[in-house]
């Protein structure tokens, strides 16, 4: 929901800017499209970071082992 809210806010801002112009060029349209793509990529990265699907063996300071779910590093890079 938070990601959708940020995209909606971004698009509302950009539409406001475009409505105030007398002429809209292809550059303006391409710029807004790229901003949307950047925001979608940012959301995908945040999802990949928060999606803890990989199990990893950890050792604490006392030498005890335990499994912990961590984010898949391959999907982040």
pLDDT digits (tens, 9 = 90+) for 9-60: 888 888 888 888 889 889 988 999 999 999 998 888 887 777 777 777 888 8
**pTM of the full structure:** 0.59
Alpha carbon 15 to its chain's center? 21
Q: Please report, for the chain, the start and end positions of each structural domain, with discontinuous segments joined by +.
A: 2-76
What torsion, rounded to 10 degrees, do the Cα atoms 68, 74, 75, 77 define? 120
- SS3 of the chain: the string is CHHHHHHHHHHHHHHHHHHCCCCCCHHHHHHHHHHHHHHHHHHHHHHHHHCEEEEEEEECCCCCEEEEEEECHHHHC
């Amino acid at each position: 929901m938070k990601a959708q809210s940020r995209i909606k806010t971004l698009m509302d801002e950009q539409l406001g800017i475009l409505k105030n112009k007398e002429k809209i060029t292809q550059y303006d349209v391409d710029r807004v499209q790229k901003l949307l793509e950047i925001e979608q990529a940012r959301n995908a990265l945040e999802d990949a970071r928060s999606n803890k699907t990989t199990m990893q063996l950890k050792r604490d300071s006392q030498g005890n082992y335990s499994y912990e779910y961590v984010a898949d590093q391959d999907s982040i890079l």
